[in-house]
């Protein structure tokens, strides 16, 4: 499990370049909803608030998918179910690497699955603006976690293979912690760090490393 958590953290860290492009507008709008007189460090409590809410949202998702995976393990022969879920997780990691490297945009289609839910949640988040209190930041961060995102959905498929609700939640929390440096940076700098997402070689490097994790997972599966 420790190996999986470390890998999930690294996937979040490397995938953070994708977050800069996809979530940059959200973070910037949240930042500019704060009092203009605030210096970057003065924004930190609110930034931490909605990132904590986002992590809580990821934890809930991971628990739901980990619990579903646990049910699948109980419904199918144990060894067969474990290999099936692990293979699905490795495949999604491979597709994620191709997506991050901008070699294959197919995972963007996966995001379409979350649009109906997001249409109901997004207006709730809008009602919380402008941010004035910590509980608003926490709530809007929790809603933000459900934004349709191929990166998040890929890790959720992986959470299916975690084997329990707790393990799925921990996996998603590790992934969320990996995304923090990029998203906190873009929030504190009011979008300046989003320029990193425009450097193709960084995206390609991140994609190649995630593909490496996927190939390692396939090798472990075949060697088992």
pLDDT class of 179 with cuts at 50, 70, 90: confident
pLDDT > 70 fraction of the chain, expressed in percent and rounded? 79
Cβ pair 22, 149 in contact under 8 A = yes
Helices (H), the chain: 2-32, 44-75, 78-100, 107-110, 115-126, 134-144, 150-160, 165-188, 200-223
Higher pLDDT, 181 or 55: 55
What mean pLDDT is reported for the chain?
81
Which tens digit of pLDDT belongs to each residue from 164-173? 999 999 999 9
Cβ–Cβ contacts within 10 Å for residue 209, how many?
Answer: 16
Structure confidence by residue, pLDDT tens digits, 93-148: 898 889 888 898 888 788 888 889 889 998 888 888 777 777 888 998 899 899 88
Domain count, the chain: 1
Q: What is the mean pLDDT of residues 58-77?
A: 89
Residue 47 belongs to what domain range? 2-223
Instruction: Say what the pLDDT of residue 195 is.
Output: 54
Q: What is the pTM of this model?
A: 0.84
Per residue in 51-67, pLDDT (tens digit) is: 899 999 999 999 999 99
């Amino acid at each position: 499990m420790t190996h999986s958590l470390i890998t999930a953290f690294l996937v979040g860290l490397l995938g953070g370049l994708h977050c800069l492009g996809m979530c940059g507008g959200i973070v910037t709008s949240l930042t500019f909803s704060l009092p203009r007189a605030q210096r970057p460090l003065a924004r930190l409590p609110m930034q931490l608030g909605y990132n904590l809410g986002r992590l809580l949202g990821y934890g809930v998702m991971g628990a739901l998918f980990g619990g579903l995976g646990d049910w699948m393990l109980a419904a199918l022969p144990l060894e067969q179910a474990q290999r099936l879920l692990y293979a699905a997780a490795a495949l999604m990691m491979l597709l994620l690497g191709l997506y991050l490297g901008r070699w294959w945009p197919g995972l963007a289609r996966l995001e379409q699955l979350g649009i109906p839910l997001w249409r109901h949640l997004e207006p709730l988040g809008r009602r919380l603006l402008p941010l004035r209190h910590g509980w608003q930041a926490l709530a809007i961060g929790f809603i933000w976690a459900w934004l349709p995102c191929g990166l998040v959905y890929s890790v959720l498929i992986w959470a299916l293979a975690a084997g329990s609700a707790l393990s799925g939640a921990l996996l998603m929390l590790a992934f969320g912690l990996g995304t923090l440096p990029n998203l906190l940076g873009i929030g504190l700098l009011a979008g300046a760090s989003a320029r990193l997402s425009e450097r193709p070689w960084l995206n390609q490097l991140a994609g190649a490393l995630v593909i490496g994790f996927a190939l390692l997972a396939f090798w472990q599966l075949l060697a088992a």
